[in-house]
Each structure stands twice: as C-alpha cells, then as structure tokens.
Chains A and B, each alone.
Chain A
Amino acid sequence: MNPETPTTDGLQFTPSPVWPDWFRSAQQDAWNEYLATPAPTRKDETWRYANIKALDLSAFRNAPPIASEGKLINASTGLEAIAAKLVFGNNALVHSQTDGLPAGVVVQPLDVAARENEALFRQYFLSQPVELGSHKYALLHKALLSGGVLVHVPANVEVALPIELYHWVEGANSSVFPHTLIVLGDNAKVTVVDHFKSADGAPAFACGINDFHLGRGAKLDYVAIQDWSADTLAFHINSTVCDRDSSSTALVANLGGRHIRGESFSKLAGEGSRSVMLSINPLDGERQVDQRTLQDHAAPNATSDLLYRNSLDDKSQAIFSGLIRVEPGSKQTDAYQKVENLVLSEDAVAHSMPGLQILNDDVRCTHGATSGGISQDELFYMQARGIRPDLGRRLVVAGFFHSLLERLDNETLRARVAALVNERLGVKVAD
C-alpha cells in the first residue's frame, strides 16, 4: 500500500521524519496491519455492551502543528515542585525542562530515545501484547506516533520530586497519540503525572498508550489526569509489568472526554510484586467511560488491588469489565477487584462485570461490584445543617472520590487531584 493513500478515516499515514528508518518501517507495517484488522463489534467479548458507534474515526485528521504554543506552555502548570516537565502540543515537543533530574535519569521524547537509547527502546516499547480489545487502535497508535516520552530511572536512583508530562490537543478533529514509556531499574523510584488536555472545546481524537516496566524492588507512583474536551474520543491503553518486590500505584482520573475507552493490564511478573490500580470517573451529560482490566498473576506472593469508582449523573454510562487471572504456580496470591457506582440519575447506566480465573488453589481473591445512590438520610443530615441539596449531593460525590485518593502516598499530588475533582464537580472547599 502506498503510504500516502488516504483512507476513509481521514487519518493518513504520513511517516514522521523524526524517527530512524527502522522504526519508520515498523510504522508502515503497523499501518498495513491496522487497515487489515477488522473493527471491533459488540460480539467480541472485550467489547460487550460497548458503544461501537462512538468509535467512528472518519471525522478525524492528522493534527496540524500547534498554533498557540506559548499559551499552552504557560497553561502547563500543575505541581509547584517538580523534577522535570515535558510539554507536547499536537504530538510535537514544545517545552522541555529536565534540570531537576538526578544524574543518569533520562526524560526524553521517544524519537530521541529511539536513537540515543535504542536497546532500551527496542526492549520495552510496546513489548506487551494488547489483549483487552484495542489491538487495532494500538496499531494505529504505533503507525502514527510522533511524540511520546521515555522516562528511564537507572537502578538504585530515586527521583524525589514528580515528573510532569503534558499532552495537549488543539484544533477541530485533531488526533494525538500520547505515549509514556517508563522503565525503572532495580530499586529505582519515581512519580510521574500525565496531563491530557485540550486547548479548546473542539472535537478531537486521542489514542494513547503507556508502558510501565518496574525492575526488582522498584517503586512507581503514577497519576493520569485525563481532561480532554467534552467532545473528545479517547483510547488509553496501559500495561504495567512488575518484577520481583516492585510496587506500582497507578491512578487514572477521567475528568473529561465524551467517550473514553480505557484498558489497563497489570502483570505481576515477579514474586512479591504489587500493583494498585485506581480510577475515578465523575460522569455526567452523555459521557461514557468503558474500562477493561486484567490483573495477571504470573508469580507467587504477589498482590494486585483494583478499585474503580464511577459517579453517574444525567445520561452518562460506565462499563467495567475486569479479570483477575491467577496462573498455575502463583501461590499465595492476594488479588482484589472492586468497582463502585454512585448512581445519581435514573437515566444513567452502569454495566459492571468483575471476573476471576484462578488456576491454583492457594490464593485470596475478592471481586465485586456495587451500585447505589446517595442515601436520603445522608442528604437530610447535610440539609439539616443548612446545606442546599444540590451542593450536598456534590459534596457526597466529591467525598466518594476523595476517600479513594487516600490511597495515594504523595500528599501534594493527592491534594492536587482532589482540587481538580472539586473543580470538576463545582465544589468549593477550605484552603
């Protein structure tokens, strides 16, 4: 196929000159495979209940260069004290600040990484299979990737302050392909925050992938603050591989977007490893979040702990389908999986499908889903203090998310996410 051939999608394969030849050729292969791969249907187990119509890509186009670079850089302010910050606008790096990093730590755009850290890149980039349904979109991501970041923390190095990454999309029907590849050496520690933001309220398409690889005893704290425009279709595909005694805590806060498909795969590859998977989804209007997860226990004595919370107002929809898979030989597994829906409207819909697949008998697993509304007595209590019912409801919803945020170790980060949740819900709080 001719690389310049337009497709019905509106997205075109235009290999970016930033990449080395070997990767561009891999992108061509990915593009061909993308075109040859059938689109998902609801008959596929991984797309049960999904709104397939929402996945129509025909309106979207390759993003033009960013127009308001300065404005976006100025708006890329989150935490006060950080070790590094990279800002991408429509896939291109527009700002890089890495002077706070300890020696040996690499935070660089992926195209630079593909040249300067080729071995690492080849070993870890998209090294995990995409099994939770979006294989086709992972191919599209690979084919059209031009931005993205490598965070590499060598063995025994701790990055005390967080690294912040901003991924902006600008312009009507622009498409972006954010990628965050985190590779931690043995006993390395880092906190990474991904911000996904729209420069305007225009419709947009985002197809992002994260690959996290934790060496022995490594510790990763990761937060994604997804705040795309209310008219954005987004895929966010995550894989985390934990080696022996490593520990990952990842939170995805879906504050924006029109239709979000999230896939999260945690592989407990080493004995004693731990993965905490968290997500908060305040949904209203006609927003939809469709999340699929897999906790894969491939080693003994490992822990995985998933907690997802959705609040559903108006005509919003949340789909959750999760699986805990305990492989033979993974003795003394601790695995938890819970999704909780706070239903605020009769027109909202939640489909929750927790699941277990246990191939040995020495395990402790719990999984479950709950759905409920705000209790009348809780609301009466607040009203009896003079709080208007509308604010009372919003306080309860904010509290529902805040109590999950207590799982984050980093207090500054927790406060920052809590503030964004309050802002999203229109709740003013004490400073």
Chain B
Amino acid sequence: MRGLHQEFLIYLLMSLVIKNLTANIGDQQILKGVNLEVPKGEVHAIMGKNGSGKSTLAKIMAGHPDYTVTGGEVLMDGENLFDMEEPDERARAGLFLAFQYPMEIPGVTIANFIRAAVQARLPEGEELEATDYYANLYAKMDALKIPRAFTSRSVNEGFSGGEKKRCEILQMAMLEPKYAVLDETDSGLDIDALKIVSDGVNALRSPDRGFLVITHYQRLLNYIVPDKVHVMVDGRIVMTGDKDLALELEARGYDWVTEGELATA
C-alpha cells in the first residue's frame, strides 16, 4: 500500500491534472466535467470541433477573467492553480499559454516585453543581466528564424499570422514553463511556418515539461507527434487514444465519436 501511495504522490507531483472541471461564461456552462492528466515529458493533444470547449479550457487554466470556475480543480505538480487568483501568478508558477490570437501591444517592443516577463520571475531586488538576456534572446530568435530587427518592433503589431505564432513560441522558449498549453497554434500558418513552429516546440520537449496541444486539425500532429490524443465534445473529454486516433478523426470526422458515445450509452 505504502509503495502505491508514494507512486501516486510522485505521479501527482509530476503532472498537470485536471479533475472534474466545470466552468461557465455568464450563465452558460461550457465545461461540463473535464478530466485529464498530462505527465511531465509527454505531449497530449486535445482535438474537437469548434465550440466544444477546448479553447475555453486553455483560457480557464490561464485565468481569463471572463470565465467562472464552478467546480473541480487543476493541479500543477500538486499545486492547485485556482489557489492562485491572478493569471500572472499561475504563469510565474510555470504555466504557459500560447494564444490563438496574440494581442498587439503598441509601443512595447518584443525585447522589453519578454524582458519584463523574465524579470518578473526573479526574486525581488535581483536584476536581469542585460548581456546574458540578449544573448539568450538572439539565440532563440535565430532558432525560430525570427529576424533580429523584430526585437525593436512592437509586440505583434503588424505581424503576419506566422510571425505572431513564432513570437508565441519564442516567448515560451524564453520563459521555460513546466507546462505549456498551445491553443490552435497551427491556425493561420502555411506549411513552412507550421514546420518552424513545430520544430520550435519539439526543441522544447523535455522530461521536465508537459505539453497540451489544442488543435482542430490533425495536420499539426504530424509535426508535433503526441503521446496521447483526447477528443473533446460538448465540454467533456469523451475519448482518449494514441497518436493514431488523430488520423482516425481526420478520416472519419468528429460525428463518429459522438455516434460511438451514443452507441455505448
């Protein structure tokens, strides 16, 4: 028994665990009891139709103020995310959300924006060393094929879809989260950009990091090969499988999942 208990504890401390999560926007229930576990070192995909609740799940974990959590919890290495009220606390604790629609921040350069985010993770009174910071930033920009001139451009302002997504991955690379949630990162990308972004994500795969990749299309999962694929329908995870499930969904459509669910019910 003791061995099992310890094993469970270790598992809990090394995972992103979503338990019975229910959430509303206004009076409308969007999440209806989500259960999911992403162990460190693994990449899990959530697939689902538009409106199934998968982007909502991402925003709720990050702490978007429009949504109300009505039940359940999200444990990040054993720590309840909902004990941290502000989105910035959750981010500093190690959660990263790559946005489907990254915001433009006029007049704030990428270099200053990311620097503020990195600085926010240092203990009070400790100053980020500028030379090291730029060396790190440039190396990561080079890897993502982001021109260095971008450092002095305003965050996402006038960027193409591909540039915005590459900058999301750049931020992830600089902030080195424990768990990253990628919300429709493939949307609006041509095949070249998709490859660059996927390479960027794959380079960050590590035994110390878990990924939750939210996508509508199977295409992304050819490049970021998941350990598990979950299907979300109407605010619940209704099916879980390996990477081949994504191919099956691509071939048979999402209705097949709901029909199957009905059949077993």
Contacts and interface: CB of A to CB of B under 8 A. Distances in A.
Contacts of A404: 107
Interface stretch (B58-66, B141-149, B239-247): B58-66
Contacts of B63: 380, 383-384
A386 B107 contact: no
Contacts, number: 95
A381 B91 contact: no
Contacts of B107: 398-404
A387 B111 contact: no
Given A381-B99, A382-B105, A388 B65 contact: no
A185 B135 CA distance: 48
A376 interface: yes
Contact of B115 (A381, A382, A402, A430): A430
A389 B108 contact: no
Interface in A301-344: none
B188 interface: no
A396 B105 contact: yes
Nearest to A422: B112
B105 A383 contact: no
Interface in A378-431: 378, 380-389, 391-392, 395-396, 398-404, 428-431
Given A384-B91, A386-B91, A402-B107, 17 more contacts: A381-B105, A382-B88, A383-B63, A384-B62, A384-B63, A384-B97, A385-B91, A385-B120, A386-B117, A388-B86, A388-B120, A395-B108, A398-B108, A399-B107, A400-B106, A430-B112, A430-B134
B103 A385 contact: no
A307 to B, nearest CB: 13
A346 interface: no
Contacts of B78: none
A354 B219 CA distance: 52
Given A382-B105, A388-B120, A431-B130, A403 B88 contact: no
Contacts of A56: none
Contacts of B88: 382-389, 392
A377 interface: yes
B87 A383 contact: yes
A385 B115 contact: no
B185 interface: no
Interface string A77-110: 0000000000000000000000000000000000
Interface residues of A, number: 29
A404 B107 CA distance: 8
A391 B116 contact: yes
Nearest to B98: A384
5 contacts: A382-B105, A383-B63, A385-B116, A403-B154, A429-B115
Contacts of B106: 399-400, 403
A431 B151 CA distance: 12
Contacts of A388: 86, 88, 120
Contacts of B115: 429-430
B112 A395 contact: yes
A180 B159 CA distance: 42
A385 B156 CA distance: 14
Residue from B63, B87, B121 having most chain A Cβ neighbours under 10 A = B87
The 6 A-B pairs at the shortest CB distance, nearest first, are namely: A399-B107, A403-B107, A402-B107, A386-B91, A383-B87, A399-B108
A375 B65 CA distance: 12
A378 to B, nearest CB: 5
A399 B107 CA distance: 4
Interface string B176-190: 000000000000000
